[in-house]
Amino acid sequence: MAIEMLSGRILAPNFGNSIHVWGAIITIFMLALSVGYLLGGQWSVNQPSLRRLALILIIGAVATLPVIVLGDTTLDWIFGKVHDPRYGSLLAATLLFFIPTAVSGMVSPYAVRLLVAESRLSGHFAGQLYFVSTFGSAAGTLLTSFYFVLYFEIQQIITGLISVSLILGALALLPGPATDESR
């Protein structure tokens, strides 16, 4: 959610801040998340492990790097090619945010699979995970929109978010007390 909040500011210099731009942003994030949920659920079926979850987190972080490195160049190029801000913002949101958001969407269903050892408890664990996920999204939205944007540049905030994903991925790769093959 923090990146979704920032995406409006990222696209605004080229495409404005209209309802069309926000409609494009929200649509792309929702579509990317739905694809990520589907892929995460499918990927969790065969040999789920904490290491594979770590890989998802790391890939999600790396997939976000182009927003920082190529964002301005990409936006300028699209702005020069697509003159209608509705379609320009839709293309820009797709190119910059679809892949990292889809990868991030894979995390929740994959984590549910790792938590569920007994099918009768699947709803319980899914509910807990989605509670934590949604609560975290709300906290990230408020922190980003109320505080982070006041003290940091957009690239700094995104770099911080990338760093958090990389750190979580690295921590998940560390050997833990469990030594079974499910890791």
53 pLDDT tier (thresholds 50, 70, 90): very high
The rounded mean pLDDT for the chain is 92
What confidence score (pLDDT) does residue 122 get?
86
For residue 178, tell me if it sits in a domain. no
Percent pLDDT > 70 in the chain is 96
Q: What is the pLDDT of residue 178?
A: 54
Q: Domain residues for 54?
A: 2-173
Give the integer Cα–Cα distance in Å for 60 and 42: 17
Of 21 and 83, the structure prediction assigns the larger pLDDT to 21
In a domain, 106, yes or no: yes
pLDDT band at 176 (very low <50, low <70, confident <90, very high): confident
What pLDDT score does 179 carry?
A: 41
How far apart CA 47 and CA 32 sit, in angstroms, is 24
Query: Is 100 part of any domain?
Result: yes
165 within some domain = yes
Instruction: Please compute the mean of the pLDDT values over residues 1-10 and round it to a whole number.
Output: 93
- In the predicted structure, residue 63 carries a pLDDT above the cut 90: yes
Provide the number of structural domains found in the chain: 1
181 lies in some domain? no
Residue 41: inside a domain: yes
Q: Answer yes or no: is pLDDT of 181 > 90.
A: no
Is residue 24 a contact partner of residue 14, using CB atoms and an 8 Å limit? no
> Is 180 contained in some domain?
no
- Total-model pTM: 0.89
Q: Has residue 183 been placed in a domain?
A: no
